[in-house]
């Protein structure tokens, strides 16, 4: 249940930040306003500081377990650049990355079910083709 509440809070913040807006994404890719860069940049800055504090002080989770932070393998450069660019195509077209797709559905934009459905198809096709793709 707590995840439902956390997700609700996250979705609400995405709405208030307006990062769910196709207009804001266009403004970002046209470098015409600082809004999106300010949000992404300050979110990362807060994230970096938090993770450094967690790592350096050895902060535990509320159950007393060590916090797991998994590293991603930077040697698979092809998957990040090719996969990332394909994702960027989709982001600029739909004006929404996965979080905003779901928040927009809640906000009553029912046609967003079309990109959500196709995102599921895309995920499945990736899973099917994975062994054949360069990584």
Residues 66 to 85 in contact with other proteins, rule: CB under 8 A = 67-74, 76-77, 79-85
Q: According to the binding rule CB under 8 A, does residue 132 interact with other proteins?
A: no
Q: According to the binding rule CB under 8 A, does residue 133 interact with other proteins?
A: yes
- Lookup: tokens for 85: 């660019």
Q: Least distance in Å: CB of 26 to other proteins?
A: 6
Q: Least distance in Å: CB of 2 to other proteins?
A: 7
Spatial neighbors of 78 by CB under 8 A, at least 6 apart, are 134, 135
- Lookup: tokens for 75: 């040697």
**x-marked contacts with other proteins along 3-42 as a string, rule CB under 8 A:** xxxxxxxxxxxxxxxxxxxxxxxxxxxx-xxxxxxxxxxx
Q: What gap in Å lies between CA 78 and CA 83, rounded to an integer? A: 8
Q: Least distance in Å: CB of 56 to other proteins?
A: 13
Q: According to the binding rule CB under 8 A, does residue 2 interact with other proteins?
A: yes
Q: What gap in Å lies between CA 57 and CA 54, rounded to an integer? A: 6
How far from the centroid of its chain's Cα atoms is residue 117's Cα?
17
Q: Least distance in Å: CB of 89 to other proteins?
A: 4
Q: What gap in Å lies between CA 108 and CA 90, rounded to an integer? A: 21
Write out the binding residues for other proteins, residues 96-115 only, by CB under 8 A.
96-99, 101-112, 114-115
């Amino acid at each position: 249940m707590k995840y439902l509440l956390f997700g609700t809070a996250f979705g609400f913040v995405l709405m208030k930040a307006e990062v769910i807006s196709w207009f804001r994404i266009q403004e970002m890719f046209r470098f015409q306003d600082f809004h999106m860069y300010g949000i992404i940049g300050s979110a990362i800055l807060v994230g970096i500081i938090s993770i450094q504090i967690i790592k350096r002080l050895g902060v535990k989770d509320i159950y007393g377990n060590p916090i797991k932070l998994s590293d991603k393998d930077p040697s698979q450069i092809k998957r990040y650049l090719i996969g990332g660019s394909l994702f960027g195509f989709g982001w600029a077209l739909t004006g929404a990355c996965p979080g905003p797709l779901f928040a927009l559905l809640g906000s009553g934009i029912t046609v967003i079910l079309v990109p959500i459905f196709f995102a599921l198809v895309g995920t499945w096709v990736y899973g099917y083709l994975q062994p054949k793709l360069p990584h």
